[in-house]
Amino acid sequence: MIMSKYTDTMNPYWNKRYLKENRIWGEKPSNTAIYALNLFEKYEVKKILIPGAGYGRNSKLFSSRGLLVSGIEISKIAVEIAEKYDPDTKFYKGSVLDMPYEDKIYDAIYCFNVLHLFKEQERKEFISKCIENIKINGLMFFTVFSDQEKSYVKGKEIEKDTFESKPGRPVHYFTEEDLLNHFEQMNTIETSLIEETENHGNEGLHIHRLRYICIQKR
């Protein structure tokens, strides 16, 4: 594994969460997945990859519409849940930083709230791997924490706009300019803020202020 330190840190964390909370975010897909699906259908996307697929709540939306879906998930527990919940998607257990897991080029990538979990060098590496695994004119749809999150600036700042509320668990908060710069080698289709309501764990009902970006490979 090229990023074994990250894997060693996050694998037990997510396994523990999924064991305790199971389908942490419920069964309904993210609003951003519904939005991305509409864009994917407009561009006649057939094969997609979901890095950080979790227990399949978003992948099931895509597979139920006839798309060929592959997912990558670091948590063994989440993969076990996902394979039962969304049997039409092929799940791979491992870190997204160790892509690819298939000898396949995808039409699109949908990635929900994963990119902001890495430090700068890892983010660049992850994005490069994603670009390598989609076709020319293929799409990528990413959602990330914005600088308008309530948790912004909480914890120890380890890089610009990247904070650790707990050791080994960085969170990067994106401005619009920052997000566009991360994907400057691609054509931007659209980007904006979107609110995502969640109700889980000790946090209860709360709203995330996410940024999303849809980009196209040149």
CA distance linking residue 98 with residue 101, whole number of Å: 8
CA distance linking residue 172 with residue 161, whole number of Å: 6
At residue 4, the pLDDT reads 46
| C-alpha separations of 71 from 139, 151, 176 in Å | 16, 28, 27
- Which residues fall within 8 angstroms of residue 1, CB to CB, at 6 or more apart? 7, 94, 95, 98
Beta-sheet pairing, 68-73 with 134-145: unpaired
At residue 165, the pLDDT reads 80
The residue extents of the domains of the chain are 6-217
Predicted TM-score (pTM) of this structure: 0.90
Count helices and strands in the chain by DSSP H and E runs: 6, 10
- Which residues fall within 8 angstroms of residue 115, CB to CB, at 6 or more apart? 123, 126, 127, 142, 144, 172, 182
Query: pLDDT 10s digit of each residue in the chain, 218 long?
Result: 444 455 566 777 766 766 666 566 668 899 999 999 999 999 999 999 999 999 999 999 999 999 999 999 998 989 999 999 999 999 999 999 999 999 999 999 999 999 999 999 999 999 999 999 999 999 999 999 999 999 999 999 999 999 998 777 899 999 999 999 999 999 999 999 999 987 766 666 889 999 999 999 99
CA distance linking residue 64 with residue 168, whole number of Å: 36
Pick the CATH number of 6-217 from 3.40.50.620, 3.40.50.150, 3.40.50.720, 3.40.50.11740: 3.40.50.150
Q: In which residue are the tokens 């670009």 written?
A: 131
Find, among 74, 171, 77, 166, the residue nearest to 122 by Cα: 171
